[in-house]
């Protein structure tokens, strides 16, 4: 039930781009994206509900494919503050609990 | 907004004692709350789903008698780690669905439990 997330880790220089992927073997009700800083709780970034949906704020955006089995998080022109571990969370239906991917550790260097 | 408050943030206890962790939704009602456990550099593993006024639903492999969950009101869920052992040391986080779907899940600040 846990989604598959890749890559495990990414190291970037400021200004570079990154893509993080999250996939499921079955169609999903929703995909959530969270960022967690060390020792802190995860912070909600966005939720995608519709197949083919794309959503974003500032330089962080995400897509949800038509089959609702795969989502990608796009980080463009990365900043130092983007460093942290990114998790996708997936729900199978509206009443379901959320399961998290293994996480992607993103490090942005000056 | 949708704020979830979790206390305590850190606790150190002796082996064999019990520890209670509280999770409160401050500005919305949460009929369902979720408890996760996180090991260093690992993902959040769902332990149980806490339902207001009824029994919690535990994930496979999670001991119900060891991790007691009570959801007595629409704004409070508690997790009690009973007869704690060093292997129970971990980061425990609660969460709740926000009042609107677009809010996603809101997390408490987490509790770092150390059993000595």
Contacts of A30 in chain B (CB under 8 A): 101
Return the pLDDT at B61.
94
Instruction: Single out the residue of A70, A75, A55 nearest to residue A22, CA to CA.
Output: A70
Average pLDDT over residues A75-95: 92
A-contacting residues in B 53-112 (Cβ below 8 Å): 93, 95, 98, 101-110, 112
- pLDDT per residue over B6-30, tens digit each? 999 999 999 999 999 999 999 888 8
Give the minimum alpha-carbon distance from B41 to chain A in angstroms, rounded to a whole number: 9
Residue B59 has pLDDT above 90, yes or no: yes
Question: DSSP secondary structure string, A29-56?
Answer: SEEEEEEE-TTS--EEEEEE-STT-EEE
Give the minimum alpha-carbon distance from B25 to chain A in angstroms, rounded to a whole number: 15
| Per-residue pLDDT band at B53 (split at 50, 70, 90) | confident
Average pLDDT over residues B57-78: 93
- pLDDT per residue over B85-99, tens digit each? 999 999 999 999 887
Q: Do A101 and B44 touch (CB under 8 A)?
A: no
Residue A4 has pLDDT above 90, yes or no: yes
Contacts of A39 in chain B (CB under 8 A): 110, 112
Return the pLDDT at A93.
84
Residue B101 has pLDDT above 80, yes or no: no
* Number of Cβ atoms within 10 Å of the Cβ of B9: 12
Residue B72 has pLDDT above 80, yes or no: yes
Average pLDDT over residues B33-62: 91
Contacts of A98 in chain B (CB under 8 A): 34, 46, 95, 105
Q: Do B108 and A41 touch (CB under 8 A)?
A: yes
| Per-residue pLDDT band at A57 (split at 50, 70, 90) | confident
- pLDDT per residue over A14-26, tens digit each? 999 999 999 999 8
Average pLDDT over residues B57-62: 94
Q: Is A101 buried (19+), middle (13-18) or exposed (0-12) by CB count in 10 A? A: buried
Torsions phi, psi of B27, nearest 5? -130, 20
């Amino acid at each position: 039930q846990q989604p598959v997330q890749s890559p495990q880790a990414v190291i970037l220089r400021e200004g570079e781009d990154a893509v993080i992927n999250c996939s499921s073997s079955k169609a999903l009700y929703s995909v959530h994206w969270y960022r967690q800083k060390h020792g802190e709780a995860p912070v909600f970034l966005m939720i995608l509900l519709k197949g083919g949906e794309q959503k974003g704020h500032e330089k962080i955006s995400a897509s949800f494919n038509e089959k609702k089995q795969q989502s990608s998080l796009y980080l463009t022109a990365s900043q130092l503050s983007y460093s942290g571990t990114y998790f996708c969370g997936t729900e199978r239906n509206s009443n379901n609990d959320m399961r998290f991917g293994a996480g992607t550790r993103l490090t942005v260097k000056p | 907004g949708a704020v979830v408050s979790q206390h305590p943030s850190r606790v150190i206890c002796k082996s064999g004692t019990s520890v209670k962790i509280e999770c409160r939704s401050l500005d919305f009602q949460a009929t369902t709350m979720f408890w996760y456990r996180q090991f260093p550099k690992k993902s959040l593993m769902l332990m149980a789903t806490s339902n207001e006024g009824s029994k919690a639903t535990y994930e496979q492999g999670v001991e119900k008698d060891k991790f007691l969950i009570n959801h007595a009101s629409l704004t409070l869920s508690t997790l009690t780690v009973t007869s704690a052992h060093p292997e129970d040391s971990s980061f425990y986080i609660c969460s709740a669905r926000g009042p609107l779907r677009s809010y996603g899940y809101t997390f408490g600040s987490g509790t770092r439990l150390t059993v000595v």
